[in-house]
Amino acid sequence: MRLQGKIAIVVGAGQSPGQGIGNGRATVLRFVQEGASVLAVDRVIASAEETAAMAAKDGGECVPFEADVTKEVSLTAMVAEARRRWGRIDILHNNVGVSIAGGDKPLEELTEEAFDRVSAINLRGTIMACKQVIPVMRQQRAGAIVNISSVAAFENSYPLVAYKATKAAMIAFTQQLALHNAAYGIRANCILPGLMDTPMAVDTRARASNRSRAEVAAERDARVPLRGRMGTGWDVANAALFLASDEANFITGVALPVDGGALVRIG
């Protein structure tokens, strides 16, 4: 029960259609299993409700909430709902991100509309969510923020421009967030998932390339140094749990790879 009595907001608590479990849903379930009360936030309320129903089976408190991260008014309402319901916010976990689904492409094919959409979801949404939560955490003199970046920020051959740029910017923003809020007892860290077996990463690619899921998964597995297979949403959730918990109370400003050794090979 490492989060016993904690109040958490998880943004991106639903998931894309497909097999397996996404990072956001797995994180909600892990937080609830460890004693947190969670506001499960997603643009698609039905998906957030599905996550909450799964959490209820573990006997935890999880409330679905609809919000669009591209609209700051949604994020203001999100924070207001958490405070109305529980009176405080101990953890903010920002898990929202798109790549292919947002129209991202290599530079020569990238449109202005796609770049703006991916940037608004991947980066601006997290920044604005933090903007809304930071005053609450400063008043409390405590809080933990966990953002999701990606090994794509450092991967030399990653081809999609907007995703790579926004995930690299996420690292810089998290470091700035950590430094400027350390005096208030607020910690901010980010996770860099590698190749993960999630609906967004695998099923979306399979649909976009008109290939089978098994073919896309096997191709990705072969690129992972550790045991030759992708990680899962649970691997990201377990890292988020550690960074959100008091076990990490002297850790801030870090970019933690959860990648099966991918960045070691790149380095």
Task: Kindly list the distances between the CA atom of residue 123 and the CA atoms of 58, 164, 172, in Å, as whole numbers in the listed order.
Answer: 32, 11, 11
For residues 216 and 212, what is the distance between their CA atoms, to the nearest angstrom?
7
- Cα angle vertex 253, ends 247, 99, to 5°? 105
Question: Residue 74 maps to which CATH number?
Answer: 3.40.50.720
Domain presence at residue 100: yes
Rounded mean pLDDT, 19-40: 96
Domain that residue 79 falls in:
7-266
Any domain includes 65: yes
Interatomic CA distance for residues 120 and 98, integer angstroms: 10
Domain presence at residue 2? no
Decide if pLDDT at 202 tops 90: no
Per DSSP (E only), the strands in the chain are: 7-11, 37-42, 62-66, 91-94, 143-148, 186-193, 255-258
**Amino acid type, 147:** N
Q: Is residue 22 part of a domain?
A: yes
Domain count, the chain: 1
Contacts of 179 by beta carbon, 8 Å cutoff, 6+ apart: 253
**Active site annotation includes 184:** no
Q: pLDDT class for 122, splitting at 50, 70, 90?
A: very high
pLDDT of residue 239: 98
Q: In what order do the strands lie in the sheet with 186-193?
A: 62-66, 37-42, 7-11, 91-94, 143-148, 186-193, 255-258
Q: What does pTM read for this prediction?
A: 0.95
Domain annotation covers residue 99: yes
22, 38, 241, 243 from 35: Cα distances, Å = 20, 9, 11, 15
* Mean pLDDT of all residues in 144-166: 94
- For residue 125, tell me if it sits in a domain: yes
Which of these is catalytic: 31, 65, 154, 163?
A: 163
